Amino acid sequence: MGRQLRVSTIVPISGGDGFKIYGPEDDVPKEHAALIGEHAWVDGSEGGDAGDPSVEPPRSGAGSGKEAWAAFAAQAGHDPEGKSRDEIVKMLADAGVVEA
């Protein structure tokens, strides 16, 4: 099991297709977990596969930190060394790896 929610949480579905409700016993897909704030998760719960360097990290929220973006950049063949998170995202956008 990945991360565990503290309480039931409503996640809006992109494209205006409504919403999904996840509870503490549910497995939350990575793309939906990225939309849930840190305050909703049990402290110390495992992050599941949110650190997969072959998948573009979220721009905000869980899994959006410098480490995730640096791993993604390295996997994509770009050197993140010495760059901030925002500089890494800009470098990847300038290279056409991600959308700006």
Same domain, 92 and 68: yes
Rounded-to-integer distance, Cα 38 and Cα 40, Å: 5
Asked if residue 1 has pLDDT above 60, the reply is: no
Same domain, 55 and 38: no
95: Cβ contacts below 8 Å, ≥ 6 apart: 78
Tell me the pLDDT tens digit for each residue of 32-73.
888 888 888 887 544 444 456 677 888 887 778 888 888 889
Number of domains the chain is built from? 2
CA atoms within 13 A on the CB side of 70: 9
Same domain, 34 and 60: no
Same domain, 41 and 74: no
Query: Domain of 17?
Result: 1-50
51: Cβ contacts below 8 Å, ≥ 6 apart: 63, 67, 68, 71
